[in-house]
Amino acid sequence: MPEDENDIEKLLGDYQAIQEQMKSFASLLDQLQSQKEEIEKAKEEVTNSTGKVYISVGGVLVETTKEKSLSDLSSKAELTELRISTTTKQYNELKSKEKQLSEKITQLYKQGGGESE
């Protein structure tokens, strides 16, 4: 019986660690979504602009072409999409592990509870 209790404690620790990782990934996904929205807004502004276009380089504004700016923003958007996709995949894998651990923990508790009653 003590072996089962150790198993449950280990599983609970693993479960909590996975939940913390999931929180981190969820936060990262929120940040990436915000970046994506900012990039899309910037692309829209550059597309609609009729005057000069500037980019920020190390805290300094530098004039650039509209085409170069749109190309850079498109590259950033692609990279952000890739990061969102990868992070979502990792989050979903963690979610699957969390579900499996939850089922194992529930099963062990039921087994332990059934024997003590």
CA angle 64, 66, 70 (to 5 degrees): 105
What domains appear along the chain, each with residue ranges and CATH number? 2-116 (1.10.287.370)
- Is 60 exceeded by the pLDDT of residue 117? no
Percent of the chain's residues with pLDDT above 70: 92
Q: Following DSSP, what letter does each residue of 46-81 receive, concatenated?
A: HHH--S-EEEEETTEEEEE-HHHHHHHHHHHHHHHH
* Consecutive H or E run containing 61: strand 60-64
> Any idea which of 7-11, 18-22, 69-73, 99-103 has the lowest mean pLDDT?
7-11
Place of tokens 């990868």: 86
What type of residue sits at position 52? K
Asked if 36 and 77 touch (Cβ cutoff 8 Å), the reply is yes
Q: In the predicted model, is pLDDT for residue 30 greater than 60? A: yes
Reported as a single tens digit per residue, the pLDDT across 59-99 is: 999 999 999 999 999 999 999 999 999 999 999 999 999 99
CB atoms < 10 A from the CB of 18, how many?
20
pTM comes to 0.81
Percent of the chain scoring above 90 in pLDDT: 74
Whether residue 105 is predicted with pLDDT greater than 90 in this model: the reply is no
